[in-house]
A and B are shown apart, each in its own frame.
Chain A
């Protein structure tokens, strides 16, 4: 199992992601954005969090033109599995690999804290280790995490089981930290090989650091 992790100027979660996947037994490689190819032995490509290109213009907007993104698009089109976390989610929506967009948080605050999430759909490789309705505790750390999609797009997401995770409280009641439409925290594409979420499962790998719920999430990819 080989996990390739993208690194743009301004990415800052690539080593957290590497540590997380290594601890699950995967081989990992960090790939600089100038690369024009994705290593052929890649089983999962992770677009890690951070502030690519300083988030200038819009979060993720400039990263989509990095040379590696053409290769990522081809990799995804050929069925390769892609996971975008936080800024990675923003890069994937900007690139058109995932539907919708991430706006400034409704409160305008940068939010950095643990938050509960509810599994909405586990019929995909990412969440298959979890049950629908399960609640996980995962850190969030973002300024632009306010997921938006128009009415038709939202309908389509539900029809195709693309809504994966929603923000909630400890009991599973809907609780919305950032103004996301329908409290959506994570989605996938129609083909269910490209996944994106604002929360950071790679930062929830050890109970002593607050939560190890990220293990069950990231493990889904490892048995593929």
Chain B
């Protein structure tokens, strides 16, 4: 089972990389961009057929390692 984890800085925590990319997009004339957030995507291949168990495991992975919940939020998506 494929599990896709997205990790982004929490709303309210300044995203300097997002800001820099936004600035660069403006400089190449994409004036319609109002905000940019840069995060990371982690793709897991789990040997697991139980969706509930996969979700539980991925949540624990995020809490323990994949995200630093002091500054980051995460989303988990199970891809069938």
Which chain A residues have a beta carbon within 8 Å of chain B's beta carbons?
57-58, 61-62, 65, 93-94, 100-101, 103-108, 146, 148-150, 179
CB of A103 within 8 A of CB of B66, answer no
Q: Does B75 contact A (CB under 8 A)?
A: no
Give bound CA distance, A65 to B9, whole Å: 22
Interface residues of B in 8-63 (CB under 8 A from A): 9, 13-14, 16-17, 20
On B, residues with C-beta under 8 Å from A are: 9, 13-14, 16-17, 20, 65-66, 68, 70-71
Q: A103–B14 Cα gap in the complex (Å)?
A: 9
Say what secondary structure dominates the interface of chain A: loop
Chain A residues contacting B70 (CB-CB under 8 Å) are: 93, 100-101, 148-150
A126 to chain B, nearest CB (A): 23
A–B complex contacts, Cβ < 8 Å, 27 sampled: A57-B65, A61-B65, A61-B68, A62-B65, A65-B65, A93-B70, A100-B70, A101-B68, A101-B70, A101-B71, A103-B13, A103-B14, A103-B16, A104-B16, A104-B17, A105-B16, A106-B14, A106-B16, A108-B16, A108-B17, A108-B20, A146-B16, A148-B13, A148-B70, A148-B71, A179-B14, A179-B16
Contact of B66 among A57, A94, A101, A149 (CB under 8 A): A57
Which one of A93, A94, A107 contacts B16 once the chains associate, using CB atoms below 8 Å? Answer: A107
Kindly list 19 other residue pairs between chains A and B, CB separation below 8 angstroms, not including A94-B68, A106-B14, A148-B70.
A58-B68, A61-B65, A61-B68, A65-B65, A93-B70, A100-B70, A101-B68, A101-B70, A101-B71, A103-B14, A103-B71, A104-B16, A105-B16, A108-B16, A108-B20, A146-B16, A148-B71, A149-B70, A179-B16
